[in-house]
Amino acid sequence: MLVDNPMERDPVLRDLTEISVNALKDLELARKELKENDLRMQEMNKLANERVNEMSRVNQQLQDKISFVETMTKSIQEKNEHLEKELKITETEKINYSKLNSLLKEDLTKVIKKEKELSVKQIFLERKVKEQAENLLKGEKMSIIGTFTSRLAHDIRNPLSKLKMSHDILCNSPNMPVLEKIKHQQRIESAISNMTHIIEDVLEFVRMSELNMHETSLKTIIKSSIEGIHIPPSVKLEIKGDDRMALCDSRKLEAVFINLITNAIESIRGKGFVTIFIKDSKENIEICFEDSGSGVIPRLQEKIFEPMFTTKQHGTGLGLAICKMIVEQHGGRLIYKNTPSTFSVFVPKINNSKMVTQ
C-alpha cells in the first residue's frame, strides 16, 4: 500500500518547500559571501595597518629631517653669533693696533729723550773718569784709567750705534708694519739695557756702598738669583747640600751669584750642567759654582779678578772684580779652580749657624 506524500497533494506545501530549499541555498551563498567579505576585510585591514605603519615611518623620517634642519639652523645661528663676536674682536684689535701705533710713537719720543739723557750721562761719566784720572798718580794708575776709559767708550759705542740705527729706521719708515716697529723697539730697549748694565757695573766698582746685613737663607738667595737668569734647555742646573743661614747683604750677594751662574752658563757650549754646592766647614760656609765648561786656561787664571780683564768680546771686565770686592767686603773670599771649572764663595759662619729646616 502506497503512502501519499502530502506535498504532492498540496501545491502550497510544495511551494513552501521549494522556497525553503531556495532560502537555505541563498543563506549558504550569503554565508559564503560574508566569509569572503570577512577575508577581504581582514586583508584590507592588514593593508591599512601596513599603510599606517608606512605613514608612521614616513612621519618619523619627516620628524628626523625637521630635527636635522632645526639643528642646522641652530648651528648656523651659533656660527653667525661667533662671526659677529670675531668681527667685534677684530674691530677691537684694530682699535688696539691704532693705540699701539700711538704708543710706539710716544715710546719713540721717549727713546729719543732717553738717548739724549744717556749722551749726557756718558759725557758726565767720561768727565767723572777724567776727574778721577787727574787725581790719581802718574804711571801705572794713569795707564789703568786710560785703558778703562777706552774700553768703556768702546763698550758703550756698540749698543749706542745699534740704538741709533733702529731709531733712524723708525724715523725714516713711518709706514713700517707694527711687528717691525716692535722688533726695532725691542732692539732699542736691549741697547739701553746693555748701556745701563755697563754704567751700573762702573758705578758699583767706583762706589762701593755700605752693606745692609741680615741673617738670610743661602738657598733663598740662590733661588732668587736663578729666577733672574735665562737658563737654556740644554743646561741642567742643580742645587746640592743643606741650606744654611748667613749674615750678609742678600741683594749684593744675589748680584754675585747671578754673575757667577751667568758666567758658568755662557762657558758651556751646547749640552752641559751647572751644579751649586753648599758646604759647611769649621769657620766658613762655602758656596761652589761648578760647570761642565772648558774653564779658564792656566796662564789667565791669575788675571780673571783684575779690573778690565775679560776673555769676552763684549763687557767691561768688571764683573768678577766687583764680585771679589763684594765677597771680601763680607769678610769672605772668592777663588777659582779648574778641572772641573769651579768658583767658590767663602762667607764667615755666624756664631750659632745652624742648618735651615727643609
The whole-number pLDDT of residue 290 equals 94
User: Distance (Å, rounded) from C-alpha 16 to C-alpha 126?
Assistant: 155
The whole-number pLDDT of residue 220 equals 94
Q: Quick check: 356 and 242 in contact, CB under 8 A? A: yes
User: Distance (Å, rounded) from C-alpha 287 to C-alpha 61?
Assistant: 80
Which residue ranges make up each domain of the chain? 91-206, 214-348
Beta bridge partners of 347: 285
The whole-number pLDDT of residue 278 equals 94
The whole-number pLDDT of residue 347 equals 94
Amino acid at 204: E
- Which residue matches cell numbers 733663598? 220
The whole-number pLDDT of residue 275 equals 95
The whole-number pLDDT of residue 272 equals 92
Q: Quick check: 317 and 278 in contact, CB under 8 A? A: no
CA 318 to chain centre: 34
User: Distance (Å, rounded) from C-alpha 182 to C-alpha 169?
Assistant: 12
Query: Looking only at Cα atoms, what is the longest distance across the chain?
Result: 190
Mean pLDDT in order along the chain per 10 residues (358 residues): 56 80 85 87 87 87 88 88 88 87 86 81 78 61 52 61 78 82 79 65 59 91 88 92 92 88 87 92 91 84 72 64 88 89 91 50
For residue 348, how many other CB atoms are within 10 A of its CB?
Answer: 15
User: Distance (Å, rounded) from C-alpha 275 to C-alpha 282?
Assistant: 23
CATH class of segment(s) 91-206: mainly alpha
CATH fold of the domain at 214-348: Heat Shock Protein 90 (3.30.565)
Amino acid at 216: T
